[in-house]
Structure 1
Amino acid sequence: MHFARKLFGSVAFRALFLVTLFSLLWQTRSAVAAAAFIDHAGNIVPSAPTSSDTVDFWVQIGYQGWVTDTRLYLTTDGSEPSIHPTTHAAQGTTQAITMTLDHTENNTLWYKATAGPWSNGTVIRYKIASWHSGGGDTKYADSTNDWPVTDPTQARIFGFRVGENQLPSWIGDAVIYNVFVDRFYDGDTSNNDYCAEAASGYCDNNHAVHGALPTHPQDDYRFTYNGGDLDGVVERLDYLEDLGINVLWLSPVFDNPNFYTDTDFNSNGDIYFTYHGYHPSDPLSVEEVFGTQTDLQTLVTQAANRDIRVILDFVPNHTSSQHSNFISASTTCAGPFSAWYTFSACNTAADPSFTVNFPSGFNTSSASYTVYGSNDTNKSFFGVLELPQINNDNSAARNWVINSRADYWLDTLGHAGYRLDYAPGPSTDFWREFNDTIGDSDTFTIAEIWLDNGPEMIRRQQGRVDSAMDFEANAAIVGFFTGGSSVDSLDSSLRDRASFYYQGGISPSEFVRGCFIDNHDMDRFSHRVSYNMADMKQGALIMFTQPCVPVMYYGNEIGLGQEFGIYQFGGGRPEYARERMAWGFYDASAPTEWTGSANTALWDFYETLIDVRKATPALQTFSSADYIALYRHNADRTYAYQRGQGSSAVLVALNDSGGTRTLNIPNIGGVSLPYANGTVLQDLLGSGKNCTVSSGQCSITLDNNDPGVVLAPQAGVTVNFTVNGYVTQYGQDMYVVGNVPELGNWNPANAVPLSWVDSDTWSGPAVFTSSAGQSIQFKFIVRQGGTTIWEGGGNRTYSVPSSGTGSYTGWWQ
């Protein structure tokens, strides 16, 4: 260390260092003067600007050498920004705004520019470029090491519309239920292709590999088609109505290739089935294995007759490699679809077709399969060969995705909206235009955003989508019941999630989270908690009482299970979490292949919980101010929180201790119950566990196997008490106390407080529930510190009305 200090202190070394640094700064070699990546990803603050906001635009630059210039190019007339490829000059109506270096972080540069405000309704579209003034490549956001963008016409377009987004009015009491079509129910056995049929005509569910991953996917029914279809969903609409569901989310129902060969199984000719629907090969046609367009229309119509809205799963980021557009783009370099995808080189080579032989018992005996392009030559969804990524910044491709697909199906079917698969894929300007095109007062969109920086990416889509699935809240709930995280950790995470998305001026009328305990890409919650009844109920209770829209995965309500964990055999196999729905408990005539095992007590709980959420306004708000922690006990693993405000609020309490625990709510400093002493709180879930507010607390005992409680004030009679003739001194307060629980049972500590009106008058309400319709006795008292002054004379009497309101006015005795 002393040697280094001595060396650097020498004149010769300092001169050498400065010369080297100067040469690095001004080298024109492209390798030195090029950014490694330019990442913007829609990072603006606020995320959804209004006419009163100036906007900060942020970009992060990783550098191989040095960057001297970074510039924001934007338009306010809806046109695409135009940039000269060599001079960097803005062209046409494009404005060029210099971005300045704000700070460095982990060897990256953070640049910022500020612009605006603009009037509401203005469409802002922009691109970002970075370069070194001494030469080298100019790169555009969002460039990566693997896919650098150096052509301004190919640069990603970002954008937003100034002004507030509005949620549909019906979302407040929505309960969303995700149906995985192939696994829900088989209503038409005639379309059971690509599965091993049983003698009954239904897809067999006996061929399965136990204890290990199947050598060949077709050896296990969970990896093939199972026969579920649109007719099957129609047949089970009454079930969904009975459960209380009012929004039905269908997994993708549009045409897929049905299968690929898959080298993951390391055997030529093995078959990977696309039963899930996320490989669209013709998104303008309904998948024939699921039914027809008429079947889909029937489902939407029949659901509407039961007050159930339908949202469809929409895949905007990619197509199947078997889509005709990609086949054309891969084989014709200058064809009409070549710009609809992103290629690093023109590669027209195609792997030869070959025949795939299906096992005995499958309806289809053979089929032809051809691979187009390769992972090295075109952008794809996380490098998956079969899923080439659409260039949604190409105007023709974007028009096809938004207008020819999304808007077309809305106009044709009249469904309620879309679940948006992999929403971080397309740019913010794509989602701005998507929302401009399909968004109206009755259409709902909910996005899937699950990247490592998912919360921040979700926030960047606000104003462009209505909702997003909250994977962070899911992790908090699952972690509490399976990972042993503390009550403090659960509470902190849930309250953080409730507030995070409403920063920067976003209101709950513009954006809402979707809360869930599992989905089709993760292990089922029931499996993760080892089918523990209390945990399954309490997980559902938390999901349904957060300030968000509850999103159920089919089978949550019956504890539908799975034989193996998704990652039990190494790489993820979500097929294990996609078992067939069990119908034997609901329909005695259900075929053997669709009976299965169901927890009917859990179904009853879900039915009640859904009814409570739909009937309770306090559970239908999305503001973080309507989520207040009241009680935490880490050692006991007990937790309680308030939903809503004022006397209409409800309390949610649960006990995960493994034994019986009494909660005296609240136990957290700085919070208080929003109810008067004497208010009776009853469990809306029907457990019979009620409490009466006394000394500002609700004391309730919960057993370990209780599902928890949702406590709400009993409907009562409000009586206003007024007393005149006593001049109170500083520090004195007036109360009414009596012989009934609502008035404290003669205990001054539990008396009902009155409010000062003037020098000798106090007045205030008391709510009577159990004592409504009865004659009561009471007195007025004055309290100061630990001293109580009782009025003289005999006890006052009053007949409380059995309904409505009442009043009593008297003079101090």
Structure 2
Amino acid sequence: MLREAIHHQAGANYAYPVAKDTLLLQVRTAKQDVRRVSVVYGSRYDVDETEVVLEKYASDLLYDYYRAQVKERSKKFRYYFVIDDGRETLWYNELGLYTEPSKGFNGAYFHYPHIGESDLYEVPRWLDGAVVYQVFVDRFCKGSTEQDDADVLAAGVPPEGDLDFYGGDLAGIIQKLDYLKLLGVNVLYLSPIFDADTNHGYDTSNYYRINPRFGSQADFKHLVEQCHKRNMRVILDGVFHSCGYYSPYFQDVVEKGVKSEYWDMFYLYSYPVRRDPPNYDCFAGSWRLPKLRIGNAKVQALMLDIASYWTREFDIDGWRIDTANEVDHKFLREFRNRIKACKKDVYIVGEIWHNSIDFLHGDQLDGVMNYHLATTLFDFFYKRKLSVSEFDGQLTLNRISYPKKAVHAAWNVIESHDTHRILYSTDDNKAVLRLMFAMQMTYPGVPSIYFGTETGLKSGHESQFIRFPMDWDVETWDKTLMAYIKKLISIRKQYRALRSGDIRTVALDDEQEIYVYERFSAVEKAYVIVNRSTAAQTVELSSGDLGCRDPGALREVLHDLCIVPEGDCIRLTVPPTEAAICV
């Protein structure tokens, strides 16, 4: 038995409550190295113990993962694992691995001392069925006739930088809500809408005011009301780690130096303030974005008041926390408490591009933007850097790294305003894009569409930060692509297993480039078959593969492909670079 591969910890993603008296426990072992894993558990203050066999539920390239749920009325757990590979048996507790059971309260067990009332990981129920549409406001649609067009670029004129504007506004978004409703999306995520100098809006100058280019507070309230009327929700972009150079707080520092009441809100190293190069900490090296001391009491009070104001007064439904990994953990905990007190089912999602477990214990963020998934899809379908087995391994690693609720609350992006447009990156490869969408819409988490991709918008630039506007000339749209995405959204909404079910890998074929996974709930199952190959592939699945389900009852719902029952098996031919969904 490869002892070095065995891992568990009494917390994080390896032990966490899923009910007020129930823990989910996870153990890692070397791949194909262990025959059986069980857990012996009981109350910390009782002698009675129960043994439960763990299920091997996932594997990546190196490890197998086992899990079980254990229930204890006292909510106080002690436990150890028994691991058997057919040749030897090991007992595993918090002090290590032993060839015989250990004795003693401290040395013989892992301990999860108590499930507290606030320890359960709770996320908004409306995420089940949510499909996000990201709007970069200035680039989406110009609706107001009152806006001064003197510095607005004409359609067809390419952008060059942060100070180019196309006139998109809140009124334009309102005009297109029925279009979005017809597409099937039901959550609107807006790029920063507060007063700022740039088109992206991350250099906030006044957090309490809507950028006049976009409209007014009344316009925004009307937008939220119109969204709610259509059963759509609204998420704002919260930039709490930095502000704009021209914000009144930083300008007071520029003018008064150490005498400014706001001096200690920033990281300044000398005076007078210098922009080139900056003599103050700024985000991503940009002089326009002075970093805030988010641990400073004044900064925290200000940002919490700002977030509460927009949540309470405008009835928004969520916050996307920009660069959440550069925001203080203490602030995020207080932010969650404050905002959930304003509106219980607000969704709090963070922009974090790397492993985020420290933010996902249920006390800070509900979920994060799943850039790991975006990279994995791109590397597998377009770059072809991963085999099917390696692809499955990356997906598994992404899922096992977090509590289950965090996985289902993850914001599954293919692209965003911080990346190149996917059709630019893939050289307009629509077949690849279709496969990415097929997986995104059938995978655990909340799918997100970046504005315009559904129409086939490709426009791009060598810099991902040069963002082109939406093209509202329907004659230029790829209507076949749009119909495909609409159908995927419709299928996702129709089947609960695809929205909130668990997932397991059914079949891998590196040679044929076939990947099959199952989404399942207590009452429903769905099977997704992905064919990366440039040739049609015939897939055969047995009743064992399908969990003993009657193969003859299955139907394919994405293309109405023919499923041929053969005894206790089915055969299905999947077209080149295409996916199939069987229910």
Please give the TM-score of this superposition, normalised by the length of structure 1: 0.56
- In structure 2, relative to structure 1, the CA distance for the partners of 1:458 and 1:600 (3 Å cut) is farther
Aligned partner of 1:252: which letter?
P
Verify the 8 A CA contact 2:408 2:444 in the aligned structure 1.
no
**CA–CA distance in structure 1, aligned partners of residues 133 and 447 of structure 2:** 9
Q: How does 1:130-145 map to 2 (within 5 A)?
A: none
User: 407, 413, 416: which is aligned to 1:516?
Assistant: 413
**CA–CA distance in structure 2, aligned partners of residues 253 and 483 of structure 1:** 35
Aligned partner of 2:349: which letter?
I
**CA–CA distance in structure 2, aligned partners of residues 600 and 541 of structure 1:** 17
User: 256, 270, 285: which is aligned to 1:383?
Assistant: 285
Q: Where does residue 237 of structure 2 map in the other structure?
A: 313
- In structure 2, relative to structure 1, the CA distance for the partners of 1:430 and 1:651 (3 Å cut) is same
Q: Where does residue 187 of structure 1 map in the other structure?
A: 143
Aligned partner of 2:393: which letter?
S
2:311 aligned with 1:410, yes or no?
A: yes
Aligned partner of 1:615: which letter?
Q
User: 485, 504, 515: which is aligned to 1:639?
Assistant: 515
Aligned partner of 1:379: which letter?
D
**CA–CA distance in structure 2, aligned partners of residues 605 and 582 of structure 1:** 19
User: 680, 694, 701: which is aligned to 2:573?
Assistant: 701
2:185 aligned with 1:245, yes or no?
A: yes
Shift in Å at residue 165 of structure 1? Answer: 3.4
Q: How does 1:595-606 map to 2 (within 5 A)?
A: 597-606=476-485
Aligned partner of 2:538: which letter?
T
Q: Where does residue 171 of structure 1 map in the other structure?
A: 127
2:378 aligned with 1:475, yes or no?
A: no
**CA–CA distance in structure 1, aligned partners of residues 214 and 540 of structure 2:** 54
Verify the 8 A CA contact 2:408 2:445 in the aligned structure 1.
no
Q: How does 1:252-651 map to 2 (within 5 A)?
A: 252-256=192-196, 258=197, 274-330=198-254, 331-345=256-270, 347=271, 349-350=272-273, 375-376=278-279, 378-402=280-304, 404-439=305-340, 440-450=343-353, 454-456=354-356, 459=359, 462-484=362-384, 485-502=386-403, 507-508=404-405, 512-566=409-463, 573-575=464-466, 578-585=467-474, 597-621=476-500, 626-645=502-521, 648-651=524-527
- In structure 2, relative to structure 1, the CA distance for the partners of 1:694 and 1:334 (3 Å cut) is farther
Cα shift readout 1:738-780 (whole Å, capped 9, x = no counterpart) = xxxxxxxxxxxxxxxxxxxxxxxxxxxxxxxxxxxxxxxxxxx
Q: Where does residue 8 of structure 1 map in the other structure?
A: none
Shift in Å at residue 636 of structure 1? Answer: 2.1
- What is the DSSP-based 3-state SS (H/G/I as helix, E as strand, rest coil) of the residue aligned with 2:139? helix
Aligned partner of 1:444: which letter?
Y
- In structure 2, relative to structure 1, the CA distance for the partners of 1:647 and 1:332 (3 Å cut) is closer
Aligned partner of 1:703: which letter?
P
Shift in Å at residue 383 of structure 1? Answer: 2.8
Aligned partner of 1:120: which letter?
G
Aligned partner of 2:263: which letter?
S
Verify the 8 A CA contact 2:193 2:211 in the aligned structure 1.
yes
**CA–CA distance in structure 2, aligned partners of residues 246 and 515 of structure 1:** 15
Shift in Å at residue 551 of structure 1? Answer: 1.1
Aligned partner of 2:269: which letter?
S
- What is the DSSP-based 3-state SS (H/G/I as helix, E as strand, rest coil) of the residue aligned with 1:227? coil
**CA–CA distance in structure 1, aligned partners of residues 251 and 113 of structure 2:** 45
Verify the 8 A CA contact 1:482 1:529 in the aligned structure 2.
yes
- What is the DSSP-based 3-state SS (H/G/I as helix, E as strand, rest coil) of the residue aligned with 1:173? coil
- In structure 2, relative to structure 1, the CA distance for the partners of 1:698 and 1:301 (3 Å cut) is same
- In structure 2, relative to structure 1, the CA distance for the partners of 1:192 and 1:457 (3 Å cut) is farther
2:8 aligned with 1:46, yes or no?
A: no
- In structure 2, relative to structure 1, the CA distance for the partners of 1:387 and 1:223 (3 Å cut) is closer
- In structure 2, relative to structure 1, the CA distance for the partners of 1:46 and 1:533 (3 Å cut) is closer
Shift in Å at residue 46 of structure 1? Answer: 3.0
Verify the 8 A CA contact 2:122 2:405 in the aligned structure 1.
no
- What is the DSSP-based 3-state SS (H/G/I as helix, E as strand, rest coil) of the residue aligned with 1:316? coil
Shift in Å at residue 638 of structure 1? Answer: 1.8
Q: Where does residue 691 of structure 1 map in the other structure?
A: 563
- In structure 2, relative to structure 1, the CA distance for the partners of 1:643 and 1:460 (3 Å cut) is closer
- In structure 2, relative to structure 1, the CA distance for the partners of 1:52 and 1:326 (3 Å cut) is farther
Shift in Å at residue 581 of structure 1? Answer: 1.2
Verify the 8 A CA contact 1:652 1:708 in the aligned structure 2.
yes
Shift in Å at residue 299 of structure 1? Answer: 0.6
Cα shift readout 1:511-546 (whole Å, capped 9, x = no counterpart) = 621111111111222223322332221110011111
Aligned partner of 1:584: which letter?
D
Q: Where does residue 234 of structure 1 map in the other structure?
A: 174
**CA–CA distance in structure 2, aligned partners of residues 398 and 609 of structure 1:** 42
Verify the 8 A CA contact 1:676 1:693 in the aligned structure 2.
no
**CA–CA distance in structure 2, aligned partners of residues 235 and 640 of structure 1:** 41
Verify the 8 A CA contact 2:542 2:569 in the aligned structure 1.
yes
**CA–CA distance in structure 2, aligned partners of residues 187 and 698 of structure 1:** 53
Query: Identity of aligned pairs, percent?
Result: 25
Verify the 8 A CA contact 1:249 1:313 in the aligned structure 2.
yes
- What is the DSSP-based 3-state SS (H/G/I as helix, E as strand, rest coil) of the residue aligned with 1:191? coil
Give 5+ residue unaligned stretches, structure 1: 1-42, 54-101, 103-113, 122-161, 197-202, 210-216, 259-273, 352-370, 567-572, 586-594, 713-813
Shift in Å at residue 497 of structure 1? Answer: 1.3
Cα shift readout 1:617-662 (whole Å, capped 9, x = no counterpart) = 001116xxx2111122222222111111466210011222112110
Larger Rg: 1
- In structure 2, relative to structure 1, the CA distance for the partners of 1:501 and 1:445 (3 Å cut) is same
Higher relative contact order (CA 8 A, sep 6+): 2
2:116 aligned with 1:120, yes or no?
A: yes
**CA–CA distance in structure 1, aligned partners of residues 142 and 527 of structure 2:** 42
**CA–CA distance in structure 1, aligned partners of residues 207 and 415 of structure 2:** 27
Verify the 8 A CA contact 1:329 1:340 in the aligned structure 2.
no
Verify the 8 A CA contact 1:310 1:416 in the aligned structure 2.
yes
**CA–CA distance in structure 2, aligned partners of residues 297 and 409 of structure 1:** 10
- What is the DSSP-based 3-state SS (H/G/I as helix, E as strand, rest coil) of the residue aligned with 1:683? coil
Verify the 8 A CA contact 1:329 1:339 in the aligned structure 2.
no
Please give the TM-score of this superposition, normalised by the length of structure 2: 0.77
Count residues with an aligned counterpart: 483
- In structure 2, relative to structure 1, the CA distance for the partners of 1:445 and 1:459 (3 Å cut) is closer
- What is the DSSP-based 3-state SS (H/G/I as helix, E as strand, rest coil) of the residue aligned with 1:397? helix
**CA–CA distance in structure 2, aligned partners of residues 311 and 247 of structure 1:** 7
Q: Where does residue 783 of structure 1 map in the other structure?
A: none
Shift in Å at residue 677 of structure 1? Answer: 3.5
**CA–CA distance in structure 2, aligned partners of residues 250 and 181 of structure 1:** 7
**CA–CA distance in structure 2, aligned partners of residues 510 and 526 of structure 1:** 26
Verify the 8 A CA contact 1:180 1:276 in the aligned structure 2.
yes
- What is the DSSP-based 3-state SS (H/G/I as helix, E as strand, rest coil) of the residue aligned with 2:236? strand
- What is the DSSP-based 3-state SS (H/G/I as helix, E as strand, rest coil) of the residue aligned with 1:632? strand
Shift in Å at residue 460 of structure 1? Answer: 5.2
**CA–CA distance in structure 2, aligned partners of residues 248 and 445 of structure 1:** 14
**CA–CA distance in structure 2, aligned partners of residues 49 and 381 of structure 1:** 35
Instruction: Please tell me the root mean square deviation across aligned C-alpha atoms, in Å.
Output: 3.0
**CA–CA distance in structure 2, aligned partners of residues 183 and 400 of structure 1:** 30
Shift in Å at residue 119 of structure 1? Answer: 7.5
Q: Where does residue 204 of structure 1 map in the other structure?
A: 154
- What is the DSSP-based 3-state SS (H/G/I as helix, E as strand, rest coil) of the residue aligned with 1:190? coil
- What is the DSSP-based 3-state SS (H/G/I as helix, E as strand, rest coil) of the residue aligned with 1:651? strand
- In structure 2, relative to structure 1, the CA distance for the partners of 1:443 and 1:195 (3 Å cut) is same
- What is the DSSP-based 3-state SS (H/G/I as helix, E as strand, rest coil) of the residue aligned with 2:394? helix
Aligned partner of 1:495: which letter?
T
Cα shift readout 1:696-724 (whole Å, capped 9, x = no counterpart) = 4331001115x411110xxxxxxxxxxxx
**CA–CA distance in structure 1, aligned partners of residues 111 and 265 of structure 2:** 32
Give 5+ residue unaligned stretches, structure 2: 1-8, 23-94, 96-109
